[in-house]
Structure 1
Amino acid sequence: MGDGRIGKVALGTAVVTGASAGIGKIYADRLAKRGYDLLLVARRAELLDELAKSLEADHGVSVRTSAADLSSPKALEDLAQAIAHDDSVSMLVNNAGTSTLGALASTGPADVSAMTDLNISALARLTLAVLPRFKARNRGTIINIGSVLGFHTLPISSAYSGTKGYVLNFTRGLQDELAGSEVKVQLVLPAATATDIWEISGVPLSALDPASIMAPEDMVDAALAGLDQGETITLPSVENIKLFEAYDAARMELLLASQTGKPASRYVST
């Protein structure tokens, strides 16, 4: 891929949310290396500015920053309007997210609202912001970071899994809507990744099996390799992809079996 400098103008600007640390920071580095200009979004302005200077020096790209709390409706709408009217934007990486893990009965309403605002509302609003321009020019890339907990839930992940289930279904529906176009939409479903979201969630990384934890660099590199290979759904840690294919086939079989228009026999009195 090289450093991408020759094709920098054609690549345009990648918007990366949650870019000050972890997965978002790695995406910023990898995309800058490919030659994308960047718009980095996160709450921590000082970390964004430090990262921007480093990426500009290392990769010769233009890096803008936006210190914004995307759980704030005003901040979210300001960013959405800005990228909707920015002709240079060619990629959106919806990475920003938060997590609170624990029994739902002991999870505060504010924590659930924060997850809903950031994991769902921000992702959907920013997708809607770039989508009309991407469709009009039949070009662009949207990468939505979900989770394997989007198709499975734990006793401590009801709210979080619910938000990631939204990401999964929202993204898959959008993929079907754009089928046949040149607009790419990738759903990335990582498992445990070594980022600070675990400390925020209340479950430290030390509580997990070290063998189950992936480095964020490996996660992002695998996700981008999947994008390069044309994958619409990427599970970075799953070796046997036939497992997901069987799961997806069973999902479709179940859907088709539901289309009968009458109650199943077990619900009918004899």
Structure 2
Amino acid sequence: MSSKPAVLVTGASSGIGAVYADRFAKRGHDLVLVARDLGRLETLAERLRRETGVAVDLIQADLTRIADITRVESRLRDDSRIGVLVNNAGAAILGGFVEQGPEQLADLVSLNVTALTRLASAVAPRFAKAGDGAIINIGSVVGLAPEFGMTVYGATKAFVLYLSQGLHGELSPKGVYVQAVLPAATRTEIWERSGLDVNTLPAVMETGDLVDAALVGFDRREAVTIPPLPDAGQWNTYETARAAMVPNFGQVHPAERYRTAA
């Protein structure tokens, strides 16, 4: 058993989650891997045990099901060895808002928002009490870009960013690190599952490159890591402009521009 904190990764059977499992295993961390596909989890776990010698536990779970998510929550609350949560599980759906059915949308929000929030909520009190721990939430640049037209998916990822920034402000003084990772298009199975050929996209990052970059941000303790963004100054300018508005929100009267008829 490793002396380093164990890492729980959701959506770990493939894509970004599987690469996070690989990278943390190679850093010497024991793992708890969560996904629906037990066969693929077992194949990944066998390889990681053989190559790195770490302990790997598996939880087969569909995080849109209450009974399954409750089991993962219990593990996060009760297993003091777990010191890092990688909230990676997520999905996307194709089509415009008017073409997407209510069941599709409910499942998307359940996985991308509700499950992620519940798992963070399950582990945050223990981390805060211990004064240590890390939560990595996988968002998307789509959450910053309604121009992309992925309305509900983008809204779920905007939620992930907001939640992560809020948790960073609340938990960092207590010793808990929270990181939002915002990938752009990355070569994962999310595209195939949503019905889109990833090879038709103009620019796609390889999964290993994405996770390696995200872990550089993790080691630097960045609150927000955007691997595809060449100029960090653009994000800093965006945040500065946003923060500059905040003092102006507390007003007794509407702004002058709304008190004059057009």
Same fold (TM over 0.5): yes
Quote how far apart the aligned CAs of 1:155 are: 5.7
Distance 1:234 1:85 in 2: 29
Distance (Å, rounded) in 1 between the aligned partners of 2:59 and 2:66? 15
The residue that corresponds to 2:216 in the other structure is 225
**Matched residue, 2:78:** 85
**1:141 lines up with 2:131 in the alignment:** no
Runs of 4+ off more than 6 Å:
none
Question: Does the CA-based 8 Å contact 1:101-1:160 persist in structure 2?
Answer: no
Letter in 2 for 1:59: T
In the alignment, the residues of structure 1 paired with residue 33 and residue 59 of structure 2 have an alpha-carbon distance, to the nearest angstrom, of 6
How far 1:115 moved relative to its partner?
1.0
Within-5 A mapping of 1:154-193: 154=147, 156-193=149-186
Offset of residue 180 of structure 1: 2.4
Could you tell me which runs of 5 or more consecutive residues in structure 2 were left unpaired when the two chains were aligned. none
1-structure distance, mates of 2:238, 2:28: 37
Which of 212, 226, 236 is residue 245 of structure 1 equivalent to?
Answer: 236
- The share of aligned pairs that are identical, in percent, is 41
Counterpart CA distance in 1 for 2:252 and 2:164 is 28
Counterpart contact for 1:39–1:64, Cα < 8 Å = yes
1:9-88 matches, within 5 Å, as: 9-88=2-81
SS of 1:9's partner is coil
Question: Deviation string for 1:203-223 (max 9, x for gaps)?
Answer: 3212210xx211000000000
Change over 3 Å in CA distance of 1:239–1:155 after alignment to 2: closer
TM-superposed deviation, 1:156? 3.3
Asked whether the equivalents of residues 103 and 155 of structure 1 are also in contact (C-alpha less than 8 Å), the reply is no
Shift of 1:267: 1.7
Q: Residue 100 of structure 2 aligns with which residue? A: 107
| Offset, 1:179 | 2.9
How far the C-alpha of 1:225 sits from its partner, in A, is 0.8
Please, which of 178, 201, 204 is the counterpart of residue 208 of structure 1? Answer: 201
**SS at the partner of 1:83?**
helix
TM-aligned CA distance change 1:135 to 1:24, over 3 Å: same
Measure how far apart 1:87 and its partner are: 1.3
Q: 2:253 aligns with which of 258, 262, 267?
A: 262
Please tell me whether the aligned partners of residues 136 and 178 of structure 2 are also in contact (alpha carbons under 8 angstroms): yes
Amino acid at match of 1:92: L
Shift of 1:23: 0.3
Amino acid at match of 1:267: Y
- Tell me the TM-score normalised to structure 1 length: 0.93
Which deviates more, 175-184 or 49-58? 175-184
What is the distance in 1 between the residues matched to 2:130 and 2:191? 39
Q: Is contact 1:13-1:90 (8 Å) kept?
A: yes
SS of the residue 1:242 aligns to:
helix
Structure 1 residues 233 and 269: CA distance shift in structure 2, 3 A: closer
Equivalent in the alignment of 1:235: 226
RMSD of aligned C-alpha atoms?
A: 1.3
Q: Helix, strand or coil for the counterpart of 1:96?
A: coil
- The CA distance in 2 between the partners of 1:56 and 1:75, in whole Å, is 25
